[in-house]
């Protein structure tokens, strides 16, 4: 299947629940599902310091239902899951260092929270399909590249371990109970609606905020580590495609650009897009150094073969579109700074 052949019309009138839907990826999925004619419910606990932001859904505020609530509350999920066609499970504790400092907290949200969503589907609506947000953090330091879905998982933090467990729960429930389920392992996602108030994740967007506010960007070490940066609209496209495709049921897929980018080159691209900004190198903090990955890039071949997906936006273009988005809205994304 070629990229443009995919038929998205089946999303019309579908009922969609997005946990973590006020956050970066969830809100972009919400915007896309509304545009496709779906009936969207957002569930978000609005926990600090994560990416929830009412500005993320201002264009579709009158078209979506927003429930403030927590995936750790199983009873609430029992109320919300019945009647849904799709559950995009984005809610997560997303900080790698936080996961190490507070392992139980990470486990409660990323493992028990995921089990709660699965139990709600099992007990109240086995017709619903769950699409889970997995992570490159499940892999750890690659033993070969490009990383594919057969690569062993050796996470370097509690977040990665719990994402791995969450994914396994999703696949297990699919096997035992037969309801449709998919896991997308995301790489470094960037773009419009990512939080800009903290640098502990979403580093590209954080650096962009620094450049826009004349703050010096700090690069740990020599900045020669590599990453696979993928633009948000491509990621959303992957989520909607696997949701609508029966062939994806019971599968895991990497979502990445397939391009290995040197960290420092990403920084320079950000500065060029903003039109100002400077960076300096500083030593790695100890905890970060212990968990930092040196090289990373994936192949998206499996996803392409299944649903025709391929990234449409290269780094330079995506970073420029991100800068254009925030030029007018940075203030709305600065609540904790
Ligand atoms: N952004 C990336 O580069 C990336 C990479 C790999 C995986 N992911 C995964 O994608 C998903 C979305 O991440 P994001 O970048 O949009 O982060 P985000 O912080 O912007 O969004 C996460 C949202 O989840 C909400 N949330 C947190 N705990 C909750 C709970 N217990 N109950 C209900 N809501 C809760 C937060 O308030 C926030 O709005 C996460 O599962 C994350 O692990 C993201």
Residue nearest (by alpha carbon) to ligand 1 atom 26 = 91
Pocket lining for ligand 1, CB < 6 angstroms: 19-20, 22-26, 43-47, 50-52, 70-72, 90-94, 109, 113, 133, 135, 186, 188-189, 195, 202
pTM beyond 0.95, yes or no: yes
Closest ligand 1 atom, CA of 113?
31
For residue 291, pLDDT beyond 90 = no
- Model pLDDT for residues 193-251, shown as the tens digit of each residue: 999 999 999 999 999 999 999 999 999 999 999 999 999 999 999 999 999 999 999 99
Q: Which of 321, 222, 330, 200 is nearest to 267 (CA)?
A: 222
Domain residue ranges in the chain? 11-195+230-257+296-313
Q: Which of 79, 13, 8, 7 is nearest to 43 (CA)?
A: 79
CATH number of 11-195+230-257+296-313: 3.40.50.720
In this prediction, residue 334 carries a pLDDT of: 85
- Model pLDDT for residues 308-317, shown as the tens digit of each residue: 999 999 999 9
Q: Residue-wise over 211-242: b if at least 16 C-beta within 10 A, else e?
A: bbeeeebebebebebbbbbbbbbbbbbbbbbb
State the average pLDDT over residues 271-277.
98
CA-only gyration radius of the chain, Å: 19
Measured distance CA(316)–CA(188) in Å, rounded: 15
Among 25, 75, 76, which residue has the most ligand 1 atoms within 8 Å of its CB, making it the best to mutate?
A: 25
**Are 17 and 84 within 8 A, CB to CB?**
yes
Location of structure tokens 């905890």? 287
- Model pLDDT for residues 49-66, shown as the tens digit of each residue: 999 999 999 999 999 999
Tell the burial category of 128 from Cβ atoms under 10 Å away from its Cβ (0-12, 13-18, 19+). Answer: buried
Tell me the average pLDDT of the chain. 96
- Model pLDDT for residues 58-94, shown as the tens digit of each residue: 999 999 999 999 999 999 999 999 999 999 999 999 9
3-state helix, strand, coil in the chain (%, to 5): 45, 15, 35
Q: Let me know how long the chain is.
A: 337
In this prediction, residue 337 carries a pLDDT of: 40
**Among the options 50, 144, 159, 253, which is catalytic?**
159
**Are 114 and 169 within 8 A, CB to CB?**
yes
For residue 160, pLDDT beyond 60 = yes
**Are 147 and 107 within 8 A, CB to CB?**
no
- Model pLDDT for residues 169-178, shown as the tens digit of each residue: 999 999 999 9
State the average pLDDT over residues 102-107.
98
What DSSP line would sit under 270-291, residue for residue? HHHHHT---EEEEPPPHHHHHH
Among 42, 50, 185, which residue has the most ligand 1 atoms within 8 Å of its CB, making it the best to mutate?
A: 50
Q: Which residues touch 118 (CB under 8 Å, ≥6 apart)?
A: 130, 169, 170, 173
* 3-class state of residue 251 by DSSP: strand
Measured distance CA(28)–CA(34) in Å, rounded: 10
In this prediction, residue 3 carries a pLDDT of: 83
**Cis amide linkage into residue 49, ω under 30° from 0:** yes
159 is catalytic: yes
List residues bridging with 174 in a β-sheet: none
Q: Find the 52 Cα to ligand 1 centroid distance in Å.
A: 8
In this structure, the strands spanning 261-262 and 226-227 are: antiparallel
């Amino acid at each position: 299947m070629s990229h443009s052949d995919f038929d998205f019309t089946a999303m019309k009138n579908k009922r969609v629940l997005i946990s973590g839907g006020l956050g970066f990826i969830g809100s972009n999925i919400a915007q896309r599902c509304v545009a496709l004619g779906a009936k969207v419910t957002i569930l978000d606990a609005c926990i600090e310091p994560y990416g929830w932001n009412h500005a993320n859904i201002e264009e579709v505020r009158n078209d979506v239902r927003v429930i403030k609530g927590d995936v750790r509350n199983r009873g609430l999920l029992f109320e919300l899951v019945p009647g849904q066609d799709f559950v995009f499970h984005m809610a997560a504790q997303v900080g790698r260092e936080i996961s190490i400092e507070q392992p139980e907290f990470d486990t409660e949200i990323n493992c028990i929270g995921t089990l709660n969503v699965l139990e709600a589907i099992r007990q109240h609506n086995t017709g619903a399909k769950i699409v889970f947000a997995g992570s490159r953090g499940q892999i750890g330091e690659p033993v070969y590249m490009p990383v594919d879905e057969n690569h062993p998982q050796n996470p370097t933090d509690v977040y990665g371990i719990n994402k791995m467990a969450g994914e396994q729960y999703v696949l297990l429930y699919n096997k035992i109970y037969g309801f449709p389920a998919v896991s997308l392992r995301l790489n470094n996602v960037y773009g419009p609606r990512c939080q800009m108030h903290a640098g502990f994740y979403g580093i590209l967007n954080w650096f962009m905020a620094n450049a826009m506010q004349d703050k010096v960007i700090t690069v740990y070490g020599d900045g020669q580590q590599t990453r696979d940066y993928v633009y948000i609209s491509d990621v959303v496209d992957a989520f909607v495609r696997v949701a609508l495709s029966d062939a994806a049921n019971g599968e895991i897929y990497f979502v990445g650009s397939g391009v290995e980018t040197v960290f420092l080159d990403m920084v320079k691209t950000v500065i060029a897009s903003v039109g100002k900004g400077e960076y300096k190198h500083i030593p790695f903090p100890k905890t970060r150094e212990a968990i930092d990955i040196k090289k990373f890039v994936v192949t998206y071949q499996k996803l392409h073969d299944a649903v025709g997906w391929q990234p449409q936006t290269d780094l330079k273009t995506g970073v420029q579109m991100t800068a254009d988005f925030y030029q007018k809205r940075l203030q709305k994304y600065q609540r904790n700074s």
